[in-house]
């Protein structure tokens, strides 16, 4: 349901039809490494107009197989594992694929509003589901005692497991990407876009995990995060110069005549997606994790 909200928000506007273009390789194809033959045609069109990301697709497959192998090993030893956790992990993997291998991934590099919609999925929706899958709890039960605890006791990982440091890192990263325009070097190449997707997903998992950990500083951290993310969204709305303008102009998309309009739409998507979903996700995941601990201890 949350993924549907993210998609609907990201594509709340149907662009006008593109003029026909013939045969020769376009500037878009040269810049992106693939062609865009026309504008996205709504949510359904984006889901159908897929371009699989082979690297992230392989990573997701490994994560899914490894998780299910852990569940199987646990049950073979006489243990139990809640079906809802496995289902959440599967759904989280599916959301990552939607964000990167559907039309969201295809058009996200070329249209800032679509890219921001995919980022909402990667930084909030997919991490929420993956955290509900409780992978660390599964690893603790499958691996010998102490291995995971020693790893998580590393000072950096321990700090990122607390709400305030996690929020500080996440909010700073978003501000640097959008506030200072450092997203452009990542957009101009396929390795850069892959790096951006991976970093956003990892940052989202760390953030959601920290904000739903039960730390008493959680409420203050969520408030700070909402304010910071609202600032980024408002910045997109008010900025007078397009972010990554050189790159987007170079694509020459006929259905994106005004980059500032596209940026303002991205700002709306950011505000609705990031700011509105953060409290909902935090409360929902925290309650689900709390009920899992009290009602179905592994």
**Residue 12's pLDDT band (cuts 50, 70, 90):** very low
| Distance of alpha carbon 61 from alpha carbon 103, whole angstroms | 19
Closest residue by Cα to residue 121 from 142, 141, 101, 145: 101
265 burial class (0-12, 13-18, 19+ CB within 10 angstroms)? buried
The length of the chain in residues reads 298
The answer as to whether 95 is a domain residue is yes
Helix residue spans in the chain (DSSP H): 2-10, 27-32, 42-48, 54-76, 83-101, 103-108, 112-120, 126-132, 135-142, 147-152, 155-160, 163-174, 184-187, 190-211, 218-238, 245-251, 259-270, 276-295
Q: Residue 204: inside a domain, yes or no?
A: yes
Residue 31 lies in a domain: no
Range of the domain at 167: 47-295
Residue 42 resides in a domain = no
In a domain, 268, yes or no: yes
Residue 200 inside a domain? The answer is yes
For the chain, the domain total comes to 1
What would the DSSP string read from start to end of 44-64?
Answer: HHHHHS----HHHHHHHHHHH
Q: Does residue 138 lie within any of the structural domains?
A: yes
Question: Residue 67 pLDDT more than 90?
Answer: yes
Tens digit of each residue's pLDDT (9 = 90 or more) over 265-298:
999 999 988 777 777 766 766 665 555 444 444 4
Segment 122-159, tens digit of pLDDT: 998 999 999 999 998 898 888 876 666 676 677 777 77
Q: Is 134 contained in some domain?
A: yes
The pTM of the full predicted model, rounded to 2 decimals, is 0.83
């Amino acid at each position: 349901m949350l993924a549907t909200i993210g998609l609907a928000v990201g594509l709340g506007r149907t662009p006008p039809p593109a003029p026909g273009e013939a045969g020769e390789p376009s500037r878009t194809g040269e810049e992106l490494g693939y062609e865009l033959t026309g504008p996205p045609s709504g949510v359904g069109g984006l889901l159908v107009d897929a371009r699989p990301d082979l690297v992230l697709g392989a990573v997701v497959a490994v994560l899914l197989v490894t998780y299910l192998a852990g569940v199987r090993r646990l049950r073979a030893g006489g243990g139990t594992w809640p079906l809802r956790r496995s289902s959440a992990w599967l759904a989280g993997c599916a959301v990552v694929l939607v964000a990167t291998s559907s039309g969201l991934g295809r058009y996200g590099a070329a249209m800032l509003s679509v890219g921001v919609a995919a980022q909402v999925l990667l930084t909030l929706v997919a991490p929420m589901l993956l955290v509900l899958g409780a992978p660390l709890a599964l690893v603790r039960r499958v691996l010998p005692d102490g291995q995971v605890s020693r790893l998580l006791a590393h000072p950096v990982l321990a700090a990122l497991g607390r709400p305030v440091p996690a929020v500080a890192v996440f909010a700073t990263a978003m501000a640097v990407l959008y506030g200072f325009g450092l997203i452009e070097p990542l957009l101009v190449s396929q390795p850069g876009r892959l790096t951006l997707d991976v970093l956003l997903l990892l940052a989202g998992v760390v953030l959601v995990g920290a904000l739903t950990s039960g730390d008493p500083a959680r409420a203050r951290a969520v408030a700070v995060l909402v304010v910071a993310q609202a600032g980024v969204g408002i910045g997109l709305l008010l900025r007078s110069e397009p972010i990554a303008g050189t790159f987007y102009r170079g694509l020459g998309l006929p259905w994106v005549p005004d980059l500032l309009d596209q940026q303002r739409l991205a700002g709306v998507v950011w505000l609705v997606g990031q700011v509105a979903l953060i409290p909902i996700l935090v409360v929902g995941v925290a309650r689900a994790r709390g009920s899992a601990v009290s009602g179905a201890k592994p």
